[in-house]
Amino acid sequence: MIDIRNLNVHLGEFRLRDVSLSIDPGEFFVLMGPTGAGKTVLLEAVAGLVPVLGGNIFIGGRDVTRMLPEERGIGIMYQDYALFPHLRIVRNIKYGLRYHRLDKETAQKRFGRLVDDLGIGHLLKRYPETLSGGELQRVALARALMVEPGIILLDEPLSALDQNFREEIRLLLKKINRSSHITFFMVTHDFSEALTLATKAAIMCEGAIAQTGSIRDLFSKPASTFVASFVGMKNVFSAQFNGNQACVDSLTIEVPQPHHHSTGYIAVRPEDIVISLQRFESSIRNAFPGMICGMIDQGFLYEVHIRVRAVVFKSLVTKGAAIDLALDIGAGVHISFKASAVHVF
């Protein structure tokens, strides 16, 4: 559906460098990356809203690189909703109709269905400034869907919403994606959003794609230290490999399969590291005694830092578990993690 090949964009000091991506029809694709990575610029380049210096964008096999935004059939939704403040909600939703050949009856039917599905019938006569965040987002979605675009670009659509509305809109997006043939291309910072909504994803860093693939692979098999740390793999170590073993400083860690290079990296997700007071008698191959050297409060969880010889591992434990185990800085504990939890790259 969307095929981006070697896209280059220069906007002042910022550069998009040789970006290539492929998104299948009907897919929910998520683009992640730190602030300033170029996610919104890429989205706007696809929509035709920023000038492209090099490369091509194909939509449904058609080269749209030099096409005007209004000719591309792509809807865009921003995190601030961008509803037209001078128009009532009904006119906001119907705004795009005059540019699409649609008979009155079909338009009215579609309008009625969208208003019902999104539960915004009571808002039609109001102005955007009087609506809540969740209502604004529903209206923005209705406005984009009213012209039935082949693709909808979502620029952090949920980030300005509170938790309740966020969950509601997330489910709504999922439902629309499943029930329509619309391809969704969404930028987000939120991993839970990405995991809930996306089938495939990409991570951007400094104007380039760092990794692309299935959402599961991105989180469990990062290809670089940047991606590993970005997706929350807090335990990333450079290692020397010898068969199924990785040597990190003087620590020998069992890995799932031999690495094809003698040196590289290993990464373990903090939630895969189990803390216990006694050593587990189990089949787990990676078990080490250590000492807690730090505890960071993360709301419902603690990020516990455990020093094992010269290596510091990070694990996540619930506050309840931390109290039960009487975890505190200086306490001696054991950590264990499966060889299969170790990602090698």
Partner 1 sequence: MGRKGSFFWVSFSCGIMVLTFILLPLVEMLTAPSGAMLRETLQDRNVIRSIWLSIYTAASAAGISFLVGTPLAYLLARSQFRGKHLIESVIDLPIVIPHPVVGIAILGVAGKNHWLGQYLHEFGIRIMGSTTGIITVLTFVGMPFYINALKAGFEAISPRLENVSRSLGASMWSTFVRVTFPLAWRSVLVGLIMCCARSISEFGAVVVVAYHPMIAPVLIYERYEGYGLQYSQPVAVWLVLVCLSLFLALRLLALPQKKVS
Residues that bind partner 1 in the complex, under the rule CB under 8 A: 12, 44, 47-49, 68-70, 72, 74-78, 80, 82, 84-86, 95-96, 98-100, 126-127, 129-130, 143-144, 147, 149, 153
**Measured from the CB atom, is 144 or 253 closer to partner 1?**
144
Contacts of 153 (CB under 8 A, 6+ apart): 43, 46, 47, 74, 75, 76, 77, 185, 186
**Measured from the CB atom, is 15 or 279 closer to partner 1?**
15
Minimum CB separation from partner 1 for residue 11, in Å? 9
Minimum CB separation from partner 1 for residue 153, in Å? 8
Contacts of 108 (CB under 8 A, 6+ apart): none
Write the burial class of residue 67 (CB in 10 Å: 0-12 exposed, 13-18 middle, 19+ buried).
middle
Torsions phi, psi of 28, nearest 5?
-105, 100
**Measured from the CB atom, is 49 or 274 closer to partner 1?**
49
Distances in Å between the Cα of 338 and the Cα atoms of 150, 238, 284, 313 are 44, 18, 5, 14
Minimum CB separation from partner 1 for residue 154, in Å? 12
**Measured from the CB atom, is 89 or 308 closer to partner 1?**
89
* Cα angle value 186/191/194 (rounded, 5°): 35
Closest CA to 136 of 174, 195, 94, 89: 89
Contacts of 283 (CB under 8 A, 6+ apart): none
**Measured from the CB atom, is 88 or 279 closer to partner 1?**
88
Minimum CB separation from partner 1 for residue 41, in Å? 12
List the structure tokens of 313: 């591992």
Closest CA to 189 of 225, 229, 155, 152: 155
Minimum CB separation from partner 1 for residue 38, in Å? 17
Closest CA to 49 of 64, 32, 27: 64
What does the alpha-carbon distance between residue 144 and residue 74 come to, in Å, rounded to a whole number?
Answer: 9
**Measured from the CB atom, is 86 or 260 closer to partner 1?**
86
Query: What is the DSSP secondary structure assignment for residue 277, as one 8-state letter?
Result: S
Minimum CB separation from partner 1 for residue 33, in Å? 20
**Measured from the CB atom, is 78 or 111 closer to partner 1?**
78
